[in-house]
C-alpha cells in the first residue's frame, strides 16, 4: 500500500487515522454478528414468534433494530451534485509559497497532505448515469495540520450566474420540469433554455457547457477549477489574488455525443467504474495544482472584473504556475460512509487563504453549511470520520443531535477563570496563530449606500464567450454548434429558440447562422447588449483538440481486442503486449465470455462478451480474426456495430487481414487510423478528427 499521509495526523478525538479504522477490524474467528449495541445475535434468519406459526412479538429487539436502521438507510440526496464518485489521496507541494501565503500546507516542499476528492455531475439525481452533457463537480478536502481546507469547484472555470441569489432559479430551470418530472439529468428542455436566454450573463458558461468539456472521457481526463478569485495572505498580512487550477497528468480527453449516449446505455457507471478500477490496478490518477497569482494593479489593468465568476483570466495573459500535485491512490472503504457523507463547504479555509468579494462565492459560503444540516441531520456532521479534521479540535460547542465527543470539566464557555482555581479552563483564542481575515483593499465601490445592484464592470456578457468559441479547434466549434442544435431542437417554444439565437449572434455570427440553419430557422438580429463586445486574442490553452493538454498517450487507457476461435495467437499476444508495455490496459472481447481457442490451440479467457462490451467502452479497438471467425462475426450485428461505432467515433482500429470483410461491411474507409496490428499501439494514442466529416453531418 502506498505511503499513507494520514499516519501523521490525529483525529478529532485524538485517535490516529489507523486507530479509527482498526476499531472495526476483527479476525474472522472474532467476527460475531451483533446488534448496534454490541449484543451477539444467535439467529439472523427468523423473527421471534409466539409459537412456530404464531404472531411476531414486539419484544424482538433484533428485528426492530434491523428494520429501523434499514428504513433510515437513505439520507436526503444533494440537491445538486447528487451523483458522485470519490477517492482518497494526497497533495504534495513542489515549492514553498511562504512569500505569498502563510498556510501551513504551502510551506515545505515535498510534504504530503492527505485529502479526499469527490467528482460529480450537477443536474441528475444519485441514480442517474455518469455521462450526460453536464458540468462536473471537482471538490477536494485537504486535511491540513491547521484544519480542513475545502477547494470546491467544477471542471469548468466559470459559472452560469454572477450572483448567488439566482442559484435557486438556475437549478430549478435546469432540473426536471416541475409539472412532468422529466427530463432527468438533461438541459435539453424549455425551462432551462428559457432561463438561459433571459440571462445573458450565462452565455460564456453555455459555450463551455455545449463544448466537449461537458463530455469528459473519464474523470481522470478532465481539468478542475476553483472558479472564484480567492486571496492568499502571507505572514506579513499582504494579500494576493489567486485562481486555482487542477491540470490532469493523464491529459484532456472527451467523448463524442453519439458515443456518450451509447456509453450511458452500455454502462451507466462508466466513469465511476473507470476511476475505481484505475486505482485498484495501481494506475493512480494525478493532477497538478496550479495558481494564477496577481495583485490589485494587474486586476485593475484587465478589461473585465476578476470578481465576476463568469470570467476567466486567459493563461496567455497570466500563465498558470504549477505548485504541487494530487495523487488519488485509495478507494473508499464504504461508499455511503465516505463518498455520500462527505460534506464540502467553500467556507472551510485555513490561515493564509481567504475570500474575495465575488458575490457568487459569498452566497456559497452560507449555502453549503446550511445544506449539510438538512442532509446529515445534525450540526455535528463534522464529527463523521470522513469530515473530521486530522488535527486537534478544541472549542466549547456542545451537545446537539448525534454528539459523539465527551468533553470533560465544568467549563463550556469562554472567557472563564476556572484555571485560576486549578480546574480545566479549556482552550483560548490565539491572536498570533489564529485565522484573521484579510482586510483587502478599501476601494471606493466597496463603500456607500446599501444597494441591490450589479457593478458596471460585470456588464460585459459576450466578449469572453466569443473568446472561448474562437479559441477552439474547428472540430470543437462544430461540436458546440451541434450541441446547440440538439438542445434547442428539444425546446418546444419557438420564442425561446429565437431569443437564444439573438444572443448567439453577439457571440459569433457564423455560429448563430450554423445553429439557425440546423434548426431551419431564420437568423434574427442580435440582442441588445449592456456593454460593447470586445475582441480578445484567442487562447489556445482553452482547446482540447490540438491544445497543450490534449491526451495523446496510450498510458492509462482501455483498449478492446476482439477475437474469435482461430485468431492468430502471435498477433493477439503482440497487440496485448504492445498496449500493456505502453501503460494501457488491453481487454479481450469474444462472442462468448468463456475461453477462445487460438490458432496454436491454446485457450485464452475473454474479459468481456461482445454483446455486453461495445466499442464505446474503449479508447481504441483491434479486430484480430481468422477467416472463419470473420465469416461468423459478419452475421452478428453486435460485431458489425462494434466496428461501425469505433470508426464513427473516430477511434483507431487495428485489424488482421482476415478481418477486413467485417470492416468493409461496417463501412470502414481507410485512413491513418485504420492500421495493421503491429502499428495499433502507436495509432491508439489519439482520435482521428479529420474522419469526422465523413461519418456525420455537422452544422
**Residues involved in catalysis:** 81, 154
Q: Which residues contact 60 (CB under 8 A, 6 or more apart)?
A: 47, 48
Residue 611, exposed/middle/buried by CB under 10 A (0-12, 13-18, 19+)?
middle
CB 590 within 8 A of CB 611: no
Q: Name the helix (H) or strand (E) containing 68.
A: helix 61-71
Report the number of secondary-structure helices (H) and strands (E) in the chain: 19, 18
The answer to whether 119 and 84 are in contact (CB under 8 A) is: yes
The most distant pair of C-alpha atoms in the chain lies apart, rounded to whole Å, by 94
Judge contact between 597 and 566, C-beta under 8 A. Answer: yes
DSSP assignment string, 225-288? E--S-EEEE-TT--EEEEEEEEEETT-B-B--HHHHHHHHHH-TTHHHHHHHHHHHTT---EEE
Q: Find, among 121, 256, 264, 218, the residue nearest to 545 by Cα.
A: 256
Give the end-to-end CA distance of the chain in Å, rounded to a whole number: 51
3-state helix, strand, coil in the chain (%, to 5): 35, 15, 50
How many Cβ atoms are within 10 Å of 476's Cβ, its own excluded? 22
Q: Classify residue 100 by its DSSP letter.
A: T
Q: Which of 271, 306, 331 is nearest to 134 (CA)?
A: 271
- Other C-beta atoms closer than 10 Å to the C-beta of 129 total 22
Q: What is the dihedral of CA 372, 374, 379, 384, to 10 degrees?
A: -60
Peptide bond into 662 cis (omega under 30): no
In our burial notation (b when 16+ CB lie closer than 10 A, e otherwise), range 383-420 reads bbbbbbbbbebeeeeeeeeeeeeeeeeebeeeebeeee
Q: Which residues contact residue 259 at a Cβ distance below 8 angstroms, ignoring those fewer than 6 apart? A: 616, 645, 649
CA 185 vs. chain centroid, Å, equals 15
Amino acid at each position: 500500500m502506498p505511503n499513507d499521509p494520514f499516519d501523521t495526523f490525529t483525529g478529532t478525538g485524538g485517535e490516529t487515522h489507523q486507530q479509527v479504522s482498526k476499531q472495526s477490524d476483527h479476525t474472522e474467528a472474532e467476527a460475531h454478528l451483533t446488534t448496534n449495541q454490541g449484543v451477539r445475535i444467535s439467529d439472523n434468519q427468523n423473527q421471534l414468534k409466539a409459537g412456530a406459526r404464531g404472531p411476531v412479538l414486539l419484544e424482538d429487539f433484533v428485528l426492530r433494530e434491523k428494520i429501523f436502521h434499514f428504513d433510515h438507510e437513505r439520507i436526503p440526496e444533494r440537491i445538486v451534485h447528487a451523483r458522485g464518485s470519490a477517492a482518497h489521496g494526497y497533495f504534495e507541494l513542489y515549492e514553498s509559497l511562504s512569500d505569498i501565503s502563510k498556510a501551513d500546507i504551502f510551506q515545505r516542499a515535498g510534504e504530503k497532505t492527505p485529502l479526499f476528492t469527490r467528482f460529480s455531475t450537477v443536474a441528475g439525481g444519485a441514480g442517474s448515469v455518469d455521462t450526460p452533457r453536464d458540468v462536473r463537480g471537482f471538490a477536494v478536502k485537504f486535511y491540513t495540520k491547521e484544519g480542513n481546507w475545502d477547494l470546491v469547484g467544477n471542471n469548468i472555470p466559470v459559472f452560469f450566474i454572477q450572483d448567488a441569489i439566482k442559484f435557486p432559479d438556475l437549478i430549478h430551470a435546469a432540473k426536471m420540469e416541475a409539472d412532468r418530472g422529466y427530463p432527468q439529468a438533461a438541459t435539453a428542455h424549455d425551462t432551462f433554455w428559457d432561463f438561459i436566454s433571459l440571462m445573458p450573463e450565462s452565455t460564456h458558461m453555455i459555450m463551455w457547457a455545449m463544448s466537449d468539456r461537458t463530455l469528459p472521457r473519464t474523470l481522470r481526463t478532465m481539468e478542475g477549477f476553483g472558479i472564484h478569485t480567492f486571496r492568499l495572505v502571507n505572514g506579513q498580512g499582504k494579500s494576493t489574488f489567486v485562481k486555482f487550477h487542477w491540470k490532469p497528468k493523464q491529459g484532456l480527453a472527451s467523448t463524442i455525443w453519439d458515443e456518450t449516449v451509447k456509453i450511458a446505455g452500455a454502462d451507466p457507471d462508466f466513469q465511476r467504474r473507470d476511476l475505481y478500477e484505475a486505482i485498484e490496478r495501481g494506475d493512480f490518477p494525478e493532477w497538478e495544482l496550479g495558481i494564477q497569482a496577481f495583485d490589485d494593479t494587474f486586476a485593475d489593468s484587465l478589461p473585465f472584473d476578476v470578481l465576476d465568476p463568469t470570467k476567466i483570466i486567459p493563461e496567455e495573459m497570466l500563465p498558470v504556475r504549477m505548485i504541487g500535485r494530487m495523487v488519488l491512490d485509495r478507494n473508499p472503504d464504504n461508499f455511503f460512509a465516505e463518498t455520500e457523507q462527505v460534506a464540502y463547504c467553500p467556507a472551510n479555509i485555513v490561515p493564509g487563504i481567504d475570500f474575495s468579494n465575488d458575490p457568487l462565492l459569498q452566497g456559497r459560503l452560507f449555502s453549503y453549511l446550511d445544506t449539510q444540516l438538512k442532509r446529515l441531520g445534525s450540526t455535528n456532521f463534522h464529527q463523521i470520520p470522513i469530515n473530521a479534521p486530522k488535527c486537534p479540535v478544541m472549542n466549547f460547542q456542545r451537545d446537539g443531535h448525534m454528539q459523539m465527543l465527551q468533553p470533560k470539566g465544568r467549563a463550556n464557555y469562554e472567557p472563564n477563570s476556572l484555571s485560576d482555581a486549578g480546574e480545566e479552563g479549556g482552550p483560548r483564542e490565539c491572536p498570533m496563530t489564529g485565522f484573521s481575515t484579510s482586510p483587502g483593499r478599501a476601494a471606493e465601490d466597496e463603500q456607500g449606500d446599501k444597494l441591490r445592484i450589479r457593478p458596471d464592470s460585470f456588464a460585459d456578457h459576450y466578449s469572453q464567450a466569443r473568446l472561448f468559441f474562437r479559441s477552439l479547434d474547428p472540430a470543437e466549434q462544430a461540436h458546440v454548434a451541434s450541441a446547440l442544435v440538439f438542445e434547442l431542437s428539444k425546446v418546444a417554444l419557438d420564442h425561446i429558440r429565437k431569443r437564444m439565437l439573438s444572443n448567439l449572434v453577439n457571440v459569433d455570427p457564423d455560429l448563430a447562422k450554423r445553429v439557425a440553419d440546423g434548426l431551419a430557422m431564420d437568423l434574427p438580429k442580435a440582442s441588445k447588449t449592456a456593454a460593447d463586445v470586445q475582441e480578445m486574442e484567442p487562447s489556445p490553452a482553452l482547446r482540447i483538440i490540438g491544445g497543450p493538454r490534449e491526451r495523446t498517450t496510450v498510458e492509462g487507457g482501455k483498449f478492446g481486442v476482439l477475437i474469435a476461435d482461430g485468431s492468430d495467437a502471435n498477433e493477439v499476444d503482440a497487440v496485448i503486449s504492445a498496449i500493456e508495455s505502453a501503460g494501457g490496459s488491453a481487454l479481450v472481447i469474444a462472442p462468448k465470455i468463456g475461453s477462445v481457442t487460438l490458432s496454436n490451440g491454446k485457450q485464452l479467457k475473454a474479459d468481456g462478451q461482445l454483446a455486453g462490451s461495445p466499442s464505446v467502452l474503449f479508447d481504441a479497438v483491434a479486430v484480430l480474426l481468422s477467416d472463419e471467425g470473420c465469416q461468423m462475426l459478419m452475421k452478428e450485428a453486435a460485431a458489425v456495430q462494434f466496428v461501425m461505432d469505433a470508426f464513427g467515433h473516430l477511434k483507431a482500429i487495428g485489424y488482421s487481414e482476415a478481418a477486413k470483410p467485417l470492416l468493409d461491411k461496417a463501412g470502414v474507409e481507410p485512413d491513418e487510423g485504420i492500421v495493421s496490428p503491429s502499428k495499433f499501439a502507436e495509432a491508439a494514442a489519439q482520435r482521428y478528427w479529420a474522419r469526422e466529416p465523413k461519418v456525420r453531418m455537422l452544422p
